[in-house]
Amino acid sequence: MASTLADINSQIKKHDEQIAQLRKQAEELRNQERAGVIEEVRKKIAEYGLTAADLKLSARPGRKGASVVAPKSAAKYRSPTGETWSGGRGRKPRWISEALAAGKSLSDFEIR
């Protein structure tokens, strides 16, 4: 059974189309099943009078327990190599600590 590259490419294309069809069918079935599950869950919620708090769900849709991250502060200091620091809370960067230990001042690194 000798096959040419064109034959093989044709078979690949045919299989790719079949895969796409099967994926579409699977997605449709999943959506149908999902709709049934949602309906079943809604009935149970109504039957038992459950709340979002009972189910440990957030009240805001789309939020999955995301923690709030404070926005980054603007840089106030820059090292000779281009590293920056906002001068905020927490530990000083190593390059600042080493420079201060060497007798430099923070004002030497201020961004103006």
> Is residue 66 scored above 70 in pLDDT?
no
Of the pLDDT bands very low, low, confident and very high (cuts 50, 70, 90), residue 55 is confident
Distance CA 106, CA 112 (A): 13
CB 72 within 8 A of CB 62: no
In the prediction, which pLDDT does 20 show?
94
Cβ 108 vs Cβ 99: under 8 Å: yes
When pLDDT is averaged across residues 55-84 and rounded to a whole number, the result is 75
Identify the band that residue 63 occupies on the pLDDT scale cut at 50, 70 and 90.
low
6-20, 52-66, 88-102, range with the lowest pLDDT: 52-66
